Amino acid sequence: MDSQARVGSIGALEGFRAALIRYTERGRRALDDVTGEVKRTRGWLETEQRQKWEGEFRRRSRILEQAEQELYSARMSSMRNDKTAQQMAVNKARRSLVEAEEKLAVLKRWRQTYDGRVETLAKQLESLHDTLSRQMPKAVVSLSNSVRLLQDYAEVHAPPREVTGGGETTTEPPP
């Protein structure tokens, strides 16, 4: 049995360490992107879309009120016998207002469903984020230490080199 270890793959460990660093960085960037998208989507649902459809609801309510006032005025006026245009405008405004109400209801359901579905999945990613942020740097340090120790060991226990000079061969200890 040899009294020395055969260290021949320090380069492979260094390559693995470099690949681990790249993987960790890419993984963290991907998780940060996902987290950002989750937050942006929630903000879009809770702020932008809610404000848009609440504004649309108010605007469409005013249009309906105006159409109803015009229909009422047409009914009161004896000069206008044909009130179909005003009635059609009221019907159109009511349909438009109902559409805005439906959009608000759908948006409310989306907001409630979003937290239940997406947040559950996002929380599962937290353990991966923890691994990439805390455990992987420790692994990189451990690999660096192992490479350094193996290099030191290889230098101390390297076989003597043969030096040729002037026709004679001598054995020289490692540097």
In this prediction, residue 112 carries a pLDDT of 87
In this prediction, residue 38 carries a pLDDT of 87
Task: Determine how many CB atoms are found less than 10 A away from the CB of residue 33.
Answer: 10
Q: Using one digit for the tens of pLDDT, what is the confidence trace for 57-98? A: 999 999 999 999 988 888 887 665 677 888 899 999 999 999
Q: For the full predicted model, state whether its pTM sits above 0.85.
A: no
Tokens for 78, please give them: 């004896």
Q: Which residue has the higher pLDDT, 22 or 116?
A: 22
Interval 150-161 mean pLDDT = 75
CA–CA separation, 114 and 155 (whole Å) = 59
Confidence of residue 119 (pLDDT cuts 50, 70, 90): confident
CA–CA separation, 95 and 18 (whole Å) = 62
Quote the Cα angle for 14-17-23, to 5°.
Answer: 145
